[in-house]
Amino acid sequence: MNSGGTNARIGYIAFNTFREAVRDRVLYNLIAFALLLSGAAILVGEISIDIERLVVVNLGLTAVSLFGVVIAIFIGIGLVSKEIDKRTLYTVLSRPVRRWEFVVGKFFGLTGTLVVNTFFMALGVFLALLYVAHKFEMMDVWVLVALYFIVLQFLIVCALALFFSSFSTPLMSAVFTFALFVVGSLAEDLRGFARITQGVGGWLATAIAYLVPNFSALNVISQVAHGDAIPGRLILYDSVYALLYSAMAISGAVLIFQRRNLK
Amino acid sequence: MSATRRVNRVAVAVLLFSMAGAASTLYAVDHLRREPVAQESLYVNSPKVLRRLSLGYTGLLADIYWTRAVQYFGEKHRAGSRDYRLLAPLLEVTTELDPRLLPAYQFGANFLAPKPPYGAGLPGAALALTKYGIEHNPDQWRLYYNLGFLYYTELKDYAKAADAFSRGAKLPVTHPFMPVLAARMAEHAGEFDTARMLWHTTYQSTQDPLIRQNAVQHLLALQVDEDVTRLEQAVKKYHEQTGRLPASMSDLERAGLIHLPANGTPADPNGRPYKLMPDGRIEVQDPGSIYFITKGLPPGVPTPEPARVD
Spatial separation of the C-alpha atoms in residues B295 and B192, rounded to whole Å: 13
- What integer is the mean pLDDT of A168-186? 89
For residue B303, how many other CB atoms are within 10 A of its CB? 12
Spatial separation of the C-alpha atoms in residues B104 and B108, rounded to whole Å: 5
Q: What is the model's pLDDT at position B309?
A: 40
Interface residue A115 vs chain B (CB under 8 A): no
CA distances in angstroms from B144 to B95, B109, B176, B208, B282, listed in the order given: 17, 12, 13, 19, 38
Q: State which residue of chain B sits closest to A245, comparing Cα positions.
A: B22
Task: Tell me which of A84-98, A216-230, A249-263, B36-50 is least confident.
Answer: B36-50
pTM score of the predicted model: 0.60
Interface touch B25/A251, C-beta < 8 Å: no
Tell me the count of A-B CB pairs closer than 8 A: 90
Q: State which residue of chain A sits closest to B63, comparing Cα positions.
A: A189
Q: State which residue of chain B sits closest to A104, comparing Cα positions.
A: B11
**DSSP state for residue B115 in the 8-state scheme:** P
Q: What is the pLDDT of residues A197-211, one digit of tens each?
A: 777 877 888 888 888
How close B15 gets to chain A, by Cα (Å)? 4
Which segments within chain A are labelled E, that is strand? none
Spatial separation of the C-alpha atoms in residues A83 and A248, rounded to whole Å: 23
Q: What is the pLDDT of residues A28-76, one digit of tens each?
A: 777 777 777 767 766 765 655 556 777 788 788 888 888 889 888 888 8
Q: What is the model's pLDDT at position B29?
A: 82
| ipTM here | 0.71
| Angle at the Cα of A252 from the Cα atoms of A247 and A256, rounded to 5 degrees | 145
Interface touch B25/A241, C-beta < 8 Å: yes
Q: What is the model's pLDDT at position A148?
A: 95
Spatial separation of the C-alpha atoms in residues A102 and A80, rounded to whole Å: 9
Residue type (1 letter), B18: S
Q: What are phi and psi for residue B2, nearest 5 degrees?
A: -70, 160
User: Residue A38 in contact with residue A129, Cβ under 8 Å?
Assistant: no
User: Residue A229 in contact with residue A142, Cβ under 8 Å?
Assistant: yes
**DSSP state for residue B301 in the 8-state scheme:** P
Please report, to the nearest 10 degrees, the dihedral formed by the alpha carbons of residues A126, A128, A129, A135 taken in order. 90
Interface residue A22 vs chain B (CB under 8 A): no
Q: What is the pLDDT of residues A84-133, one digit of tens each?
A: 777 777 777 777 778 888 889 999 999 999 999 899 889 888 988 888 88
Looking at every residue in chain B, the average pLDDT score rounds to 82
Contact list, B62 vs chain A (CB under 8 Å) = none
pLDDT over 80 (residue B46): no
How close B75 gets to chain A, by Cα (Å)? 8
User: Structural domain boundaries of chain B?
Assistant: 42-137, 139-206, 213-289
Q: State which residue of chain B sits closest to A226, comparing Cα positions.
A: B43
Residue closest to B87 by CA, chosen among B124, B60, B61: B124
pLDDT over 60 (residue B80): yes
Biggest distance spanned by C-alpha atoms of chain A: 63
Residue type (1 letter), B247: A
Site from B10, B18, B35, B42 to mutate, A interface, most A CB atoms within 10 angstroms: B18
Spatial separation of the C-alpha atoms in residues A132 and B2, rounded to whole Å: 61
Please report, to the nearest 10 degrees, the dihedral formed by the alpha carbons of residues A204, A210, A213, A219 taken in order. 110
CA distances in angstroms from B261 to A74, B98, B108, B228, B237, listed in the order given: 80, 54, 43, 15, 20
pLDDT over 60 (residue B40): no
Residue closest to B229 by CA, chosen among B177, B269, B192, B278: B192
Site from B16, B26, B53, B61 to mutate, A interface, most A CB atoms within 10 angstroms: B26
**For B274-289, b where at least 16 C-beta lie within 10 A, e where not — what string?**
bebeeeebbbbeeeee
Q: What is the pLDDT of residues B143-157, one digit of tens each?
A: 999 999 899 888 888
Confidence of residue B38 (pLDDT cuts 50, 70, 90): very low
Spatial separation of the C-alpha atoms in residues B251 and B255, rounded to whole Å: 6
Q: Which residues contact B116 (CB under 8 A, 6 or more apart)?
A: B81, B82, B83, B84
How close A130 gets to chain B, by Cα (Å)? 23
Q: Which residues contact A89 (CB under 8 A, 6 or more apart)?
A: A80, A83, A102, A262
Contact list, A98 vs chain B (CB under 8 Å) = 3, 7
Interface touch A98/B21, C-beta < 8 Å: no
Biggest distance spanned by C-alpha atoms of chain B: 105
What percent of chain A clears pLDDT 70, i.e. is strictly above it? Answer: 94
Contact list, A247 vs chain B (CB under 8 Å) = 14-15, 17-18
